[in-house]
Structure 1
Amino acid sequence: MHGAATSLAFIIKDRSKGAALLVIMLPVLLVTIDNTILNFALPQIAAALNPSAAEQLWMIDAYSLVLAGLLVTMGSSGDRFGHRRMLCLGCAGFALVSVCIVFSQQAWHLIAGRALLGCFGAMILPATLALIRTAFEDREERRLAVAVWATCLTIGSALGPLLGGVLLQYFDWQSVFLVALPFLLPVLLLAPMITESPRQSGRSTDYLSIVLSLGAMTGVMLGLKHLATVGFDGRVLFWALSGVFLGVVFVRRQLRLEQPLLDLKLFASSAFSVSIVTNLVSLGLLIGFIFFATQLLQLVFGLSPLLASLILVPGQILAIIAGLAIVPVAQKIAPNKVITGCLLIAAAAFSVMALFAATALTVGLAFVLLNVSIAAITTVSNDLVLGAVPADRAGSASSVSETAYEVGVVLGTTLIGGGVAALYRLSLAIPEGVAEEVVAAAATLGGAHAVSQTQSSLVATRILEMADGAFREGVMMTSALMAGLIVLFALVTYRYLQVRSSPDPVENRHP
């Protein structure tokens, strides 16, 4: 930890490197904050814009769907046109659209704005990680910069609920969008101090590949979302099979093209491939946990958004420390051992939720264990991703890594959140004599709490007791399953994440 702190102090003292670190940190924080910050604002937005249930889902999903669908395209475009240019364009567009969303008068205005934010966010994320290769040529400095980047990625997702809770305690829902300005304006001012990344000149853009990649990601994610919210039906099959079909066509086209949008040769490296899957799993675990933890804290325990968000603060602070402290550890211990150990800590987090009664204390403790482990994992795995590719393909590698993160966001909500919701419905036993419309409304925890306000005191108390108990049961059973699956994945990681020791494999292969 002392070595990392010394290196960080040296970077901060160097004006150009300090500016580069700030330029990398701020947009990553914002883009990942936007994945989760809107959840706390939905009740106020629903009151102001009166969206349908489907429109409320699209307010959340439009951002992550577009972001995930365009990451590969934007990463490849940054390799061709320069990542600093893409970063500036993305930040300017993100800030402008954030201001425009404030004036939304109808639900579709906000949905369209969220989709545009996803587009500009896809320009930002690959550029930040790729610019680390340009700004930090020294291997140890780059490791530390990757640690800061990965910590921001983890903290941003967890910081969204906290920041949303604080803002909504004092301001209207529009404040969650205006928060973009203090993050992005410094980036636009400091970006000229960073050296532009190497460009792949003479390469053409394959627009069909762009359409295929976007269609494949969107199809699969729409299928997963429909599965989680409605259940298995023909639409799930249609969207999922459409996405898989377009994905197969995309892969076959990349293998034929001399200048592919995505270089599939990147996956020949086991370090790269396993690190990508690890990124997907790790953020999925974090987002899935936050999904049910926020409902436990606010609905079951009855805490205000601000107090509920404060329960998560210790985990956020310790994750920052863990993301930096893991750097010297990773220099001495093989990455498969480090990541496996961190995954076992994540399994312990879900074990806490499975073995002990859910309270604010157990939620806070489990979040500390989980967020610390994920922060350490993302630092090591992203260093492996960057180290496995040549510098001029850093954008493509970064975009694949970040696509895995966004897919993890969707899968975490769908699989963990959907598992809790399904078990909740199976465990729920509404008192006899209650109207059918009340039973239907109580199919979700939020619906049960809302409909209880329309019933008599005795019936309302009974509904809340049954709903809260069923949700606790769903959390415990899902957490137990997740703990077991994480242990199995840790064993796979230990076996297949083998990296040849070398001071810097990229530089050695590409002088």
Structure 2
Amino acid sequence: MVYAVGNAASAGFTAPTTLVPAALGSAALILYSRRQVALEQPLLNLRIFANARYRTSIIFVGILQAVLFGTILVGPLFLQETWGMSASAAGLLILPSGVVTAIANLLAGMAYDRFGTRVVPAGLMVSALGYIGVAVTMHQNLGKPAFAVCCAVYAAGLPFAMTALNSNSLASLRSEEYPDGSSLNNTIQQVTGSIGTAVFTIIAYRSFTLPGNQHVTALTNGSEMAFLIAAVVMVLTLGGYLLLRPVLTRTQDVLNLMEGDGVAPAPGQRAADR
């Protein structure tokens, strides 16, 4: 599947070199999943996807991971092709955002311990502002300092959302399910990151030109569109979070109770009352 996604970036999603490995990978994944679910002691416990809180959290994490990997690929390409920077100079310009990410990751863990998933909306809004800022900086040629600051802004917001959602997914599991949950989280993030890289590469090289754009290269035009789409995805993810917040904030005690007695709550009855 990852090989197919990688081919899609260069050959397109409809090319045989994309469709054939995608079909083979999908078939193998389905067979493997059916086998694991059927086993009494599976190698990887895929039944944890039945946990709505875990499933919803990890889907959001996958979306954010795809956006993150896609944009950190497109940004340096823009700097090198449009502003004529060397690879090392482009890396140094983006370096502050890496430092901000490291600090934000430390703070995000403490914030989740205190506030839970309530930090997710703030992280998504901050990252959306940062992505919009990068797109505007590219479109208006606002310069390198503005680019570095905007990158630091989305780098500060995204870890709060991702860390909270990732922690929330594991917090919804029983202790014996942690190894399976951790393994699935890592795999899903790697695959969605690869998908994001492919999708944003296609956007960067094949998207249309924004109104008022004076740039002549397809990559430059597409880079602006890529960061604008990233901002839109952040807003849509925020909407999805607000819609599914009751699922994301269900307590593990209630989940264990429902799984243990196998009794569904009556219509209109609160889980806490049970």
1:479 and 2:207 aligned = no
The question of whether the paired residues in 1 share the 8 Å contact of 2:127 and 2:154 is answered with yes
Q: Is 1:240 the equivalent of 2:22?
A: yes
Of all paired residues, the percent bearing the same amino acid is: 21
Alignment of 1:162-173 (within 5 A): none
- How far the C-alpha of 1:298 sits from its partner, in A, is 2.4
Q: 1:360 deviation in Å? A: 2.1
Match of 2:5 in 1: 224
Given the alignment of the two structures, is residue 348 of structure 1 paired with residue 98 of structure 2, yes or no? no
Going from structure 1 to structure 2, the CA distance change for 1:505 and 1:320 (only over 3 Å counts) comes to: farther
Write out per-residue CA displacement over residues 216-266 of structure 1, whole angstroms, 9 at most, x where no aligned residue. Answer: xxxx22222222111222232212222222222122212211112221221
Higher relative contact order (CA 8 A, sep 6+): 2
Code of the residue aligned with 2:239 in structure 1: it is L
Determine whether 1:317 maps to 2:65.
Answer: no
1:284 to 60, 63, 66: 66
Over 3 Å counting, the alpha-carbon distance change for 1:292 and 1:259 in structure 2 is same
Match of 2:90 in 1: 308
Q: Which residue of 1 aligns with 2:265?
A: none
1:466 aligns with 2:212: no
The equivalent residue for 1:409 is: 193
Which amino acid in structure 1 is aligned with residue 180 of structure 2?
S
> After the TM superposition, which residues 50-129 of structure 1 pair with which residues of structure 2 at under 5 Å, given as runs?
none
2:241 to 476, 488, 493: 493
Name the TM-score, length of structure 2 as normaliser.
Answer: 0.79
How far is 1:366 from its partner?
2.7
Rounded to whole Å, the distance in 2 between the matches of 1:504 and 1:472 is 51
The one-letter code matched in structure 1 to 2:220 is R
Letter in 1 for 2:25: G
1:419 maps to 203
Q: Which ranges of structure 2 fall in alignment gaps of 5 or more residues?
A: 210-214, 261-274
Tell me how far 1:399 sits from its aligned partner. Answer: 0.9
TM-score, length basis structure 1: 0.45
The structure with the larger Rg is 1
Answer yes or no: is the 8 Å Cα contact 2:123–2:158 preserved in 1. yes
Q: Please give the alpha-carbon distance, in whole angstroms, between the structure 2 residues aligned to 1:334 and 1:396.
A: 22
Please list the CA deviations of residues 402-428 of structure 1 after superposition, one character each: whole Å capped at 9, or x if unmatched: 1121112211211112211112xx66x
1:371 corresponds, among 155, 159, 163, to 155
Aligned partner of residue 67 in structure 2, secondary structure: helix
The question of whether the paired residues in 2 share the 8 Å contact of 1:353 and 1:363 is answered with yes
CA shift at 1:380, angstroms?
A: 1.5
Q: CA deviation at 1:474?
A: 1.2
Matching residue's letter, 1:360: K
**Given that residues 387 and 504 in structure 1 are in contact (C-alpha distance below 8 angstroms), is that contact kept between their aligned partners in structure 2?**
no
8 Å CA contact 2:126, 2:154 repeated in 1: yes
User: Which whole-Å CA distance do the structure 1 matches of 2:30 and 2:9 have between them?
Assistant: 24
Aligned counterparts of 2:251 and 2:35: Cα–Cα separation in 1: 34
Q: Which runs of 5+ in 1 are unaligned?
A: 1-219, 428-464
CA displacement 1:377-405 (0-9 Å, x = unmatched): 23212322332223333221111111121
The answer to whether the Cα contact below 8 Å between 1:387 and 1:505 also exists between their aligned partners in 2 is no
Name the SS of the counterpart of 1:333 in structure 2.
helix
1:400 to 172, 178, 184: 184
Q: Distance in 2 between matches of 1:287 and 1:300?
A: 20
In structure 1, which of residues 380, 392, 401 is the aligned counterpart of residue 164 of structure 2? 380
Residue of structure 1 equivalent to 2:119: 338
Change in 2 beyond 3 A, CA 1:328/1:236 = closer
1:88 corresponds to which residue? none
Q: Is residue 274 from structure 1 mapped to residue 56 from structure 2 by the alignment? A: yes
Partner Cα distance (1:417, 1:373) in 2? 23
Q: Map Cα deviations across residues 441-487 of structure 1 (whole Å, 9 max, x no partner).
A: xxxxxxxxxxxxxxxxxxxxxxxx733xx322111223223322221
Contact kept in structure 1, 2:11 and 2:17, CA below 8 Å: no
Q: CA RMSD in A?
A: 2.6
Q: Aligned AA for 1:227?
A: A
Count residues with an aligned counterpart.
Answer: 247
Looking at structure 1, the residues matched to 76 and 112 of structure 2 have their Cα atoms a distance apart, in angstroms, of 33
Deviation at residue 504 of structure 1 after TM alignment: 11
Contact 2:93-2:144 within 8 A present in 1 as well: yes
Amino acid at match of 1:226: N
CA distance in 2, matches of 1:302, 1:239: 37
Separation (CA, whole Å) in 2 of partners of 1:502 and 1:224: 36
CA distance in 2, matches of 1:489, 1:319: 20
